[in-house]
Structure 1
Amino acid sequence: MHPATVPPPQPPPTPESPPETLEKITQLLNQLLPSTLSITCFASRWQVLRSKLAALKSLLSEIADSPHWSENPLLPPLLPALFSTLRRTETLRQHCCDASYSRGKLLMQSDLDMAAGWLSKQINDLELLLRSGVLHQSTAIVLSRPNQSSSKEELTFFIKDLFTRLQIGGLEFKQKALDSLIQLLLEDEKSAAVIAKEGNVNCLISLLDMSAHDSVRELAVHAVSLLVSAGDLPRKCVFEEGALGPLLRIIECSSVPMKKKAAIAVEFITADPDNTWAISAYGGVPILIELCKSGSLTAQSHAIGAIRNVSTVEDIRVALAEEGVVPVLMQLLVSGSASAQGKTANCISILASAGEYFRNLLLQEQALPRLLHLFHECPTADALEHVLRAIYSLSVSDSSFQLLSGSTMFVIRVAELIKHGNIRLQQISARLLAKLPISDSNKVAIAGCMGSLVKLMESVKPDGIQEVGAKALVSLLLVKSNRKELVRDEKSLMRLVQMLDPKNDVVSKKFPVAVVAAIMAGGSQGCRKRLVGAGVYGHLQKLAEMEVAGAKKALQRLSGNRLTSIFSRTWRE
């Protein structure tokens, strides 16, 4: 053809507007629906199709009545696909009404079933749009992320719009919706409860599936990790929607960033004791142990956190031991991050407290020397507490007793924690002092913590603190020089007298009585004079009359000198 005769290129057809497409769909539907009534072949299948077409007509009527339906970005992509489905259905209707049509019966049945499936999916998407309420709001409101001052109604609508986009939007819609969801959770943690109540969390969990696009799955696992970390309600909701299994699969075979986010989520989910059993159900024990071996430092920390959480369950403890968790714990004590080391020590404490079998496993792997090494290097009070609890849990064996009680460095460090640690560290340290057979020379070396032990005896909380304080103090008072030093400490002596006062009901009297008895065990006249002069004798008399345990014996030890009567009379006057 001569170039002059070649027609100029035609511009592409102008895309139809949503109202125009909706009008064409409505016209075709109004023709198609009544015409199906006369079809006699495949009657049952056409009855199903007819019910779906009727439901579709009702939905389209509702959409047309919505004030902002044409502005919503989710609807335009749905309408052309719906129009195509109706045209295919119309073609099937024509074939079924044409007696000369020769296609096979099975093939026609399959085509009708496919048409019913397409209609079901598209009807479901339209119903979702209508239920969410997003068609009744303008696009400007939909795209505006709520802030701290937004009303609950605005937040609820925004969340419903996000989840609508997650369910029926394409890849770009899903990515933008997940980005917005993550930003919302980062900026306002309280929104998590509204998301759990108003959002379709099941839809979010479905995006964790290995068949989902990588970019979508990575954003989804981030959103889930933020959601479960925001409170009990969202954590419960995510677990009940079945997130644990997909999260473990992500840990097993996904990228490093996704493994880390999934491990965060698993740690938070298993923090709820009601959820721990599910780790075994999903085969999670070996997956978490493997992540502890080969994951990044951050992922290891969250993996051992999850293992610590589930180690409270007896059956899972056995599975952990069978999968070789103990050597992994030892490695994390040495090479893990500070956070991982603290959680590892906590896990060791739980396992060691569970019985002799686990204690032996840990001791065989040199857990105690490793813990002692870490004990002197712990950077945080929380990690130090977990390490000290683990040491205490392992201290029941004879070899552990000898190692701990013979280490002057350890004993002095424990005494320092009694003087300067928080109340939890003080309690564990006092338990160790009360329990270990410390040498007299070491008891003299740590005499400076006796005043702090007296203070612990005054503490109301935590439970048991008064008893361990008294027991540790009595242990140190087995040394003569310590007895003399304590009674020379005016503040400690005054506290002891106040605790002995029958009017003081804060402290159980048996504890200060035991301390007085320990002070007088050596029969020192100097100690006797100081105690009597401070007013101990009168309080002991009353406590003996009240039949407080140990009071009579302590009174007898204190009454070993005739000068007692003079001091006693002075005290009464």
Structure 2
Amino acid sequence: MHPSTAPSLTQTLTLITNLLSLLLTSSLTVQSFITRWKTIQSKLALLQSSISTISSSPHFSENQLLQDLIPNILTLLLQTQSLSQQCQSNPEGCYKGGKLLMQSNIDIASAQVSTYLHDLDLLIKSGVLQQSNAIVLSQPAPGSDNKQDLEFFIRDLFARLQIGGIEFKKKALESLLKLLRDDDKAAVLVAKEGENVRYLIHLLELNHNSSIREQAVIAVSVLASVSESSRKCVFEEGGLGPLLRLLEFGSSNLKERAAMAVEAITDDPENAWAISAYGGVSVLIEACQSGTPITQMHAAGAIKNIAIVEEIRVALGEEGAVEVLLQLLVSGTSTAQEKSANCLWILASDREDFRVSILELGGLQNLLQLLQKPLNTNTLEHVLRAISALSVSDRTLKILSSSTAFLLQLAELINNTTLPISFQQISVSILSKLSISDVNKRSLSSCMASLVKMVEFSKSAGLQETAAEALVSLLSVRSNRKELVKDEKSLSRLVQMLDPNTESVCKKLPVVLISTIVAGGSNGCRKRLILAGACHHLQKLSQMEVVGAKKVLQRLVANRLKNIFSRTWRD
């Protein structure tokens, strides 16, 4: 038929309505495949109801989706009518092409009727047929308070996405992506209808058009990243499996987006366990090894997320994750380095075999080298924590104790009050474990004042004790003892801590520190302590039976008396 003589949409709907009436009647009188025709008959009755609803919609003729859909339905019904006539005129089963072909054709027709029923039902429920020019609805302004307009726009998008052809799908996806980027609320509304997300995930399958699949994976990655509810919906609708397949077999662009979505999904601990069910551990490790920098960054983030699951940690060890993470620590982007360091910390904190593997592969050296570079706060903390986790090993302690560069950096971190308290905690904890040479102890004298402050004021659990341990180690060097007592502020803090009325610190800590200073035998140090009022407080602590207080007091007083007798003898 020439386009100029093609029937209008209204005329085509009339033809469909008449044809449905005939088919519903004729299907009652078929002589073969009766069960199959009963199924088709029930579907045709539903189709008749849908067509009636469409016909009564005020703006159906303006909807471009129906321009393609309605003629296709008419073609299907004409084919179905032909099948019905053959089944009526050939009760003995003498069909052109044979009985099996006829059976197959009936099943195909039944499936197609189901598809069109779904499409029409989607259009009707969306409400787009009730509005003029629904197919070119304008996107609501970002932050718009009109939730109804936004919901309507989303329904229209997904109607076009599911019913339309390639071009319709592309344009619908473009609009969807713009909406998700412009308005955070849109993701929640999209996820509200699980069928919407399920269809997007369906578009990720490798048999779909490549450009549509690429847009769909971007939409899924945005949904997985933008809110907790939309991320949960992507996972519950089965998004993890298809995303991992794209990460394994997709193009570079698809892998980047898939890795981003997988990282976002596994950020929820309740989802992380599912990686192993899809064989995703090896996929993520391979992505870290051979992907683009962006893919590596997000794959490393996903590995960091799943490393919290004990069973998956075993798989990470077996699949060689440590070696790959150490490679990223050296050659990856700054963000990839941050995530790799975080993961290495998690692994090293858990098991001895991971610590051994990291050390044997040169991981400690890699961490120390990275520590010498300018790092953001997060990376610096993860590197420090990874080194701290490795420091349970004697081999690690030996290396760290002899690294002057590392020790000086610890001193800088201890003195840096602009960083979170966690940095001082980690640094002091490492320092307190080390067996440092006297030369290096002297080079660390700059952090003694900060350690005294931590002993006096820190509210962080365990930091006061750890800082005191580190100070005791540094004060084993004579020059450090002299330097500390010459520092008026530090000396005042030490003596103030001895005061029984000072409740911010356990008294055994300043007693131990004073004892370390006095044990060195320096008369100058003892004199400064006495002049600062240490004897007065130690006398009270002795009466309170604080461990060590009496012994320290005796040393101070005995030395003072010795000096008095010495002067008297000379006189």
TM-score (norm 1): 0.87
Residues 342 and 94 of structure 1, relative CA distance in 2, 3 Å threshold: same
Name the structure 1 match of 2:173.
178
CA distance in structure 2 between the partners assigned to 1:92 and 1:487 by the alignment: 105
The one-letter amino acid paired with 1:106 is: L
1:22-67 residue CA offsets vs partner (Å, 9 max, x unmatched): 2222222233323433334332222111111111122222333434
Name the structure 2 match of 1:5.
none
Identity %: 53
Residues 440 and 63 of structure 1, relative CA distance in 2, 3 Å threshold: same
CA distance in structure 1 between the partners assigned to 2:221 and 2:316 by the alignment: 24
Residues 378 and 68 of structure 1, relative CA distance in 2, 3 Å threshold: same
Name the structure 2 match of 1:165.
160
Q: Secondary structure at the match of 2:20?
A: helix
CA distance in structure 2 between the partners assigned to 1:162 and 1:458 by the alignment: 63
The one-letter amino acid paired with 1:102 is: C
CA distance in structure 2 between the partners assigned to 1:258 and 1:518 by the alignment: 63
State how 1:533-552 maps to structure 2 within 5 Å: 551-552=546-547
Task: Name which of 180, 198, 206 aligns with 1:202.
Answer: 198
CA distance in structure 2 between the partners assigned to 1:459 and 1:180 by the alignment: 57
Q: Secondary structure at the match of 1:143?
A: coil
CA distance in structure 2 between the partners assigned to 1:506 and 1:273 by the alignment: 38
Q: How far is 1:499 from its partner?
A: 5.5
The one-letter amino acid paired with 1:161 is: D
Residues 395 and 164 of structure 1, relative CA distance in 2, 3 Å threshold: same
Q: Secondary structure at the match of 1:379?
A: coil
Residues 57 and 479 of structure 1, relative CA distance in 2, 3 Å threshold: same
Name the structure 2 match of 1:112.
106
Residues 534 and 110 of structure 1, relative CA distance in 2, 3 Å threshold: same
The one-letter amino acid paired with 1:289 is: I
1:233-271 residue CA offsets vs partner (Å, 9 max, x unmatched): 222221222222211111212211111111111122222
Name the structure 2 match of 1:322.
318
Name the structure 2 match of 1:488.
486
1:535-573 residue CA offsets vs partner (Å, 9 max, x unmatched): 6666666667777xxx331354145445999xxxxxxxx
State how 1:127-142 maps to structure 2 within 5 Å: 127-139=121-133, 142=137
CA distance in structure 2 between the partners assigned to 1:152 and 1:71 by the alignment: 25
Task: Name which of 117, 120, 127 aligns with 1:123.
Answer: 117
Task: Name which of 20, 35, 52 aligns with 2:43.
Answer: 52
1:90 aligns with 2:81: yes
Q: How far is 1:342 from its partner?
A: 2.1
Q: How far is 1:206 from its partner?
A: 0.9
Residues 18 and 411 of structure 1, relative CA distance in 2, 3 Å threshold: same
1:428 aligns with 2:426: yes
State how 1:394-405 maps to structure 2 within 5 Å: 394-405=390-401
Task: Name which of 209, 213, 227 aligns with 1:213.
Answer: 209
Q: Secondary structure at the match of 1:37?
A: coil
1:461-498 residue CA offsets vs partner (Å, 9 max, x unmatched): 65443343333233323333333333433444455566
1:413 aligns with 2:409: yes
Q: How far is 1:301 from its partner?
A: 1.6
Aligned residues: 554
State how 1:184-333 maps to structure 2 within 5 Å: 184-198=179-193, 200-333=196-329
TM-align CA RMSD? 3.0
Task: Name which of 147, 150, 154 aligns with 2:142.
Answer: 147
1:176-229 residue CA offsets vs partner (Å, 9 max, x unmatched): 222222222222334322222235211111111111111011111111222212
The one-letter amino acid paired with 2:121 is: E
Residues 107 and 399 of structure 1, relative CA distance in 2, 3 Å threshold: closer
Q: Secondary structure at the match of 1:45?
A: helix
CA distance in structure 2 between the partners assigned to 1:179 and 1:481 by the alignment: 71
Q: Secondary structure at the match of 1:301?
A: helix
Name the structure 1 match of 2:473.
475
The one-letter amino acid paired with 1:284 is: G
**Is 2:495–2:534's contact at 8 Å kept on the other side of the alignment?**
yes
CA distance in structure 1 between the partners assigned to 2:157 and 2:58 by the alignment: 20
CA distance in structure 2 between the partners assigned to 1:221 and 1:73 by the alignment: 26
The one-letter amino acid paired with 1:155 is: L
**Is 1:342–1:383's contact at 8 Å kept on the other side of the alignment?**
yes
1:298-317 residue CA offsets vs partner (Å, 9 max, x unmatched): 21122222222222333323
CA distance in structure 2 between the partners assigned to 1:504 and 1:62 by the alignment: 83
The one-letter amino acid paired with 1:348 is: L
CA distance in structure 2 between the partners assigned to 1:369 and 1:491 by the alignment: 38
More displaced, 447-456 or 262-271?
A: 447-456
CA distance in structure 2 between the partners assigned to 1:48 and 1:371 by the alignment: 68
CA distance in structure 2 between the partners assigned to 1:544 and 1:196 by the alignment: 69
1:375 aligns with 2:371: yes
Name the structure 1 match of 2:564.
none
Residues 24 and 260 of structure 1, relative CA distance in 2, 3 Å threshold: same
CA distance in structure 1 between the partners assigned to 2:559 and 2:201 by the alignment: 79
Residues 20 and 491 of structure 1, relative CA distance in 2, 3 Å threshold: farther
Q: How far is 1:118 from its partner?
A: 0.9
Q: Secondary structure at the match of 1:41?
A: coil
Residues 407 and 26 of structure 1, relative CA distance in 2, 3 Å threshold: same
CA distance in structure 2 between the partners assigned to 1:267 and 1:54 by the alignment: 47
CA distance in structure 2 between the partners assigned to 1:379 and 1:165 by the alignment: 48
1:60-113 residue CA offsets vs partner (Å, 9 max, x unmatched): 223334343333332322111111121222222222232588314433332222
Q: How far is 1:437 from its partner?
A: 0.8
The one-letter amino acid paired with 1:373 is: Q
Q: Secondary structure at the match of 1:13?
A: helix
Q: How far is 1:144 from its partner?
A: 2.1
CA distance in structure 1 between the partners assigned to 2:401 and 2:551 by the alignment: 33
Q: How far is 1:460 from its partner?
A: 5.8
**Is 1:430–1:469's contact at 8 Å kept on the other side of the alignment?**
yes
CA distance in structure 2 between the partners assigned to 1:490 and 1:473 by the alignment: 17
1:400-427 residue CA offsets vs partner (Å, 9 max, x unmatched): 2221111111111111111124422222
**Is 2:511–2:552's contact at 8 Å kept on the other side of the alignment?**
no
Name the structure 2 match of 1:63.
54
TM-score (norm 2): 0.88
1:352-397 residue CA offsets vs partner (Å, 9 max, x unmatched): 2222212222211111122211211143222222222222222233
Residues 480 and 283 of structure 1, relative CA distance in 2, 3 Å threshold: same
Q: Secondary structure at the match of 2:27?
A: helix
CA distance in structure 2 between the partners assigned to 1:278 and 1:506 by the alignment: 48
CA distance in structure 1 between the partners assigned to 2:430 and 2:284 by the alignment: 33
Q: Secondary structure at the match of 1:62?
A: helix
CA distance in structure 2 between the partners assigned to 1:429 and 1:198 by the alignment: 50
More displaced, 91-100 or 452-461?
A: 452-461
Residues 556 and 51 of structure 1, relative CA distance in 2, 3 Å threshold: same
**Is 1:248–1:284's contact at 8 Å kept on the other side of the alignment?**
yes
Q: How far is 1:126 from its partner?
A: 1.2
**Is 2:508–2:547's contact at 8 Å kept on the other side of the alignment?**
no
